Amino acid sequence: MAKEKELDVSDPSYLHLLSAFLAMEPPDVVISFARECGGDSITETAQSFIWHHCISKADVKWQGPYLKRFIKKLIVEIESSGGVVLDALYERKLEFKLQCSLNMLEGDTGCSIWPSSLFLSEFILSFPDIFSNKCCFEVGSGVGLVGICLAHVNASKVILSDGNLSTLANMKLNLELNHLRTGMQLLDHHTNCNMVHCVCLPWESASEDELCYFTPDIILGADVIYDPSFLPHLVRVLVVLNFTLLSPREEVRAGREFDASQHKVMSNATQNAEFSSDPSVKGRVAYIASVVRNIDTLLYFLSLAKQSNLIVTDLSEKVKPFNFLPYIRSYPQSSIRMFRISY
């Protein structure tokens, strides 16, 4: 009964919180009221009030964009102060619909959700400033989850690729389920952010001219280091995508922009975001998330990368994305390795 009394909207402090939320005051203002309710911290009781009386009763059609910003800011504030976030807030923050295979008999491997894809998606949502207003290209895009997250953080252009036609068809369906326009042809560089481009790109047969057509700022890949026979083709694709079209002046400019972006992320994120920008990183960069199932396969990839003058940096100990999926016990975030690839 005491807990119910604390959640009574007639309590002045909670009434102020609710009123500020309904008036769509800036998220920082609403959060300041939440701190007052909890005695200078956002307690689980205050979170429960926010969930039951604000978020659950919000008019999504009217408050949708504001609601997303508020929940995102609220979670960052709670985690940065070492608090425990209610599972309900995580679940309400983002809802993506995906059609995927539950076993290999139902479709290609690209139609399944793999742990590294979840990790890379959490990475994007945790550090949106790295990807915002950047042209992003994913190799081996599978169900399209990473692309959906890139669109959510306002990447200027999202290009998803896969070498399997059935995977591409399923990917396009998932994008449309999440209200994203899809296209198989690339348009100009000022394409609407709601357009995600889907490209058929088998690594082994992609020509250099075809790869040079893309000019991404950032290349991404999840669980693409698994088959030794494909690794030489993957490395070649990474080399061409990353480095063939940058002039020395463009390399310096892009490197500075990337360093500034990472610095901004570090200043805004929590202690878990302690990965620093490397002044040696110039031009485009690739992020590859992977589960190491066979150490020899990883060593082979590293050897091929070194031969191609690629610098592979293991960021696994420095990159700690927010845990957006605490209720998925089969997904151990700590088992994923994150590599940054530069020239």
Q: Is residue 323 part of a domain?
A: yes
Residues ≥6 apart with Cβ < 8 Å to 14: 7, 8, 37, 49, 53
Q: Is residue 98 part of a domain?
A: no
Q: Is residue 253 part of a domain?
A: yes
306 to 30, 213, 281, 299: CA distances (angstroms): 51, 25, 15, 10
User: How many CA within 13 A on the CB side of residue 37?
Assistant: 29
Q: How many CB atoms lie within 10 A of CB 267?
A: 9
Together in a domain, 119 and 71: no
Number of domains in the chain: 2
Long-range contacts of 160-165 (CB under 8 A, 24+ apart): 160/196, 160/197, 160/198, 160/199, 161/137, 161/198, 161/199, 161/200, 161/201, 162/110, 162/198, 162/200, 162/201, 163/200, 163/201, 163/202, 163/203, 163/204, 164/108, 164/110, 165/200
Q: Is residue 203 part of a domain?
A: yes
Residue that is last in its domain, among 66, 93, 120: 93
Together in a domain, 10 and 151: no
Collapsing DSSP to helix, strand or coil, 115 comes out as helix
Residues ≥6 apart with Cβ < 8 Å to 128: 153, 154
What pLDDT is attached to residue 319?
A: 83
What pLDDT is attached to residue 294?
A: 92
The CATH number linked to 314 is 3.40.50.150
What pLDDT is attached to residue 250?
A: 46
Range of the domain at 89: 2-93
- Does residue 333 contact residue 272 with C-beta atoms inside 8 Å? no
Residue that is last in its domain, among 58, 93, 128: 93
Together in a domain, 335 and 186: yes
Residue that is last in its domain, among 67, 93, 119: 93
Together in a domain, 115 and 203: yes
Together in a domain, 34 and 121: no
Digitized pLDDT (tens) for each residue of the chain, 343 residues in all: 334 344 555 678 888 898 888 888 899 999 999 998 888 889 888 888 888 888 877 765 566 678 878 888 898 889 888 888 887 776 655 566 667 655 444 445 556 788 899 999 999 988 888 999 999 999 999 999 999 999 988 899 999 999 989 889 989 999 988 888 887 655 444 445 568 999 999 999 998 888 888 889 999 999 999 899 999 999 999 999 876 544 444 444 444 443 444 433 333 333 333 443 454 455 689 999 999 989 999 999 999 999 999 999 999 988 888 777 766 767 788 889 999 998 7
Cα 142 from Cα 170, distance rounded (Å): 8
Together in a domain, 6 and 88: yes
Q: Alpha carbon 169 to chain centroid distance?
A: 22
DSSP state of 110: G
What pLDDT is attached to residue 263?
A: 37
